[in-house]
Amino acid sequence: MEEKLMRIQRDVLLQIEQVDNMKDLENIRVQVLGKKGELTSLLRTMGSLSFEERPLIGKIANEVREIINQKIEEAKSSISIKQQELDLINEKIDVTIPGNFIALGHRHPLMQVKRRLEDLFLSMGFDVVEGPEIDTVGNNFDDLNAPEDHPSRDKTDTFYITENLLLRTQTSPVQIRTMKSRKPPIRIVSAGRTFRFDDVDDTHSPMFHQMECLVVDKGVTMANLKDSIDKFVKVLFGENMKTRFRPHNFPFTEPSAEVDVSCLKCMGTGCDACNFTGWSMELLGCGMVHPNVLRNCGIDPDVYSGYAFGMGIDRVTMVKYGLSDIRLLFDNDIRFLEQF
């Protein structure tokens, strides 16, 4: 058996010297030292040896195993070093070669205007709050003083999910949520997506973006409302911009008004873009918060008053950039978006 052990050692060491990859080296280890390996199988026959031979053969077998294991580890180290050297050669890169240009995106013009408006109102002392796009009929209509027969409550105008849940038609429900959860004074703005049944044309879309502003405090008047709107219009569009307030009717404000701004193309002198009126399209709706709305939210209208206004961010974007078709903002035409 001693001769067999020496032969195994000699043959295996010769094989190891000729190996140049990890896979073949592992195969040799398994064939010799594995559970069914040649050396392992030979050692299982030691039971047939005499009592005197077993210690001697056992010692030789352990020495052979040690030598083979040591040579395998040395071969692993050698192969690993050679592989690293080869990888350094094959994977060498020229760091002086110019890299590939990676086109970086930017915010959508709608989101640019949204962020600009939020930053503007933050600088004016307002808090920015958010609300869910799915809201209750109570928050969206009832508490906003919208009567049962109001056209916007019709199922042909609003996306109802259940009898009591809907896709919000405006961001005004955030005002209701805020007034129910906070005590005056309140100064907040909220922006987000809103949904209505609208035929798609150059100024309408069934999904659009709005921003609402709400102020509730003691002694708030229509003069405060006009001053806030004039200030944000001038900061957003320029100091030469003018505003025009026209009487209107909203169920949640009293009195109510719609606001137009100067035509950006002619700055009020009259041109074909504004049909020679000097005014751009309607920018927003506004008014003093209706006493019923305050009562619905647990605020005493004899003590507090407030104003609110809401605008379509899409419309503000169209005015700011002189766009004539709202569909440009949703078509995702890269040729259009790259201009911003």
Q: Are residues 117 and 167 in the same domain?
A: yes
Q: Are residues 216 and 326 in the same domain?
A: yes
Question: Any idea what the CATH number is for the domain that residue 234 is in?
Answer: 3.30.930.10
Asked if residues 163 and 136 have their Cβ atoms less than 8 Å apart, the reply is: no
Structure-token pair, residue 95: 């760091």
Instruction: Compute φ and ψ for 105, nearest 5 degrees.
Output: -80, -175
Q: Which amino acid is at 240?
A: N
Residue 256 forms beta bridges with which residues?
248, 287
Q: Are residues 279 and 132 in the same domain?
A: yes
Of 90, 121, 153, the residue that ends a domain is 90
Q: Are residues 231 and 159 in the same domain?
A: yes
What pLDDT does 48 receive? 67
Q: Are residues 315 and 169 in the same domain?
A: yes
Return the closest-CA partner of residue 179 out of 50, 101, 340, 289: 289
Q: Is 182 exposed, middle or buried (0-12, 13-18, 19+ CB in 10 A)?
A: middle
Of 90, 125, 160, the residue that ends a domain is 90
Whether 97 is covered by a domain: the verdict is: no
Give the list of residues 6+ apart from residue 178 with CB closer than 8 angstroms, or none.
Answer: 129, 186, 188, 190, 214
Of 90, 124, 148, the residue that ends a domain is 90
Whether 102 is covered by a domain: the verdict is: no
What pLDDT does 63 receive? 79
**For residues 87 and 108, what is the distance between their CA atoms, to the nearest angstrom?**
44
Whether 243 is covered by a domain: the verdict is: yes
Count of Cβ atoms closer than 10 Å to residue 115 Cβ: 12
Q: Are residues 126 and 13 in the same domain?
A: no
Task: Tokens 């890269």: give the residue.
Answer: 334
User: In the sheet where 127-128 sits, what is the strand order?
Assistant: 127-128, 186-195, 207-217, 305-312, 279-289, 253-262, 243-248
pTM: 0.66
3-state SS, the chain, equals CHHHHHHHHHHHHHHHHHCCCHHHHHHHHHHHHCCCCHHHHHHHHHHHCCCCHHHHHHHHHHHHHHHHHHHHHHHHHHHHHHHHHHHHHHCCCCCCCCCCCCCCCCCCHHHHHHHHHHHHHHHCCCEECCCCCEEEHHHHCHHHCCCCCCHHHCCCCCCECCCCEEECCCCHHHHHHHHHHCCCCEEEEEEEEEECCCCCCCCCCCEEEEEEEEEEECCCCHHHHHHHHHHHHHHHHCCCCCEEEEEECCCCEEEEEEEEEECCCCCCCCCHHHCCCCEEEEEEEEEEECHHHHHHCCCCCCCCEEEEEEEEHHHHHHHHHCCCCHHHHCCCCHHHHCCC
Q: Are residues 30 and 175 in the same domain?
A: no
Q: Is 32 exposed, middle or buried (0-12, 13-18, 19+ CB in 10 A)?
A: buried
Whether 81 is covered by a domain: the verdict is: yes
Whether 100 is covered by a domain: the verdict is: no
Q: Are residues 81 and 117 in the same domain?
A: no
Q: Are residues 125 and 152 in the same domain?
A: yes
Q: Are residues 160 and 200 in the same domain?
A: yes
Whether 98 is covered by a domain: the verdict is: no
Number of domains in the chain: 2
Per-residue pLDDT of the chain (340 residues; tens, 9 = 90+): 667 777 777 777 888 888 888 888 788 778 777 777 777 676 666 666 666 666 676 677 777 778 888 888 888 888 888 888 888 888 888 778 887 888 888 899 999 999 999 999 999 899 999 999 999 999 999 999 998 888 888 888 899 999 999 999 999 999 999 999 999 999 999 999 999 988 888 888 899 999 999 999 999 999 999 999 998 888 888 888 889 999 999 999 999 999 988 887 787 788 887 888 888 767 899 999 999 999 999 999 999 999 999 998 998 888 888 888 899 999 889 889 888 8
Question: Which domain range does residue 280 map to?
Answer: 109-337
Q: Are residues 64 and 23 in the same domain?
A: yes
Burial 283-303 (b: 16+ CB within 10 A, else e): bbbbbbbbbebbebbebeeee
Give the list of residues 6+ apart from residue 274 with CB closer than 8 angstroms, or none.
Answer: 263, 265, 266, 280
222-237 and 109-123 helices, crossing angle to 10°: 130
Whether 198 is covered by a domain: the verdict is: yes
Whether 104 is covered by a domain: the verdict is: no
Q: Are residues 200 and 264 in the same domain?
A: yes
Query: Half-sphere exposure (CA, 13 Å, Cβ side) for 24?
Result: 10
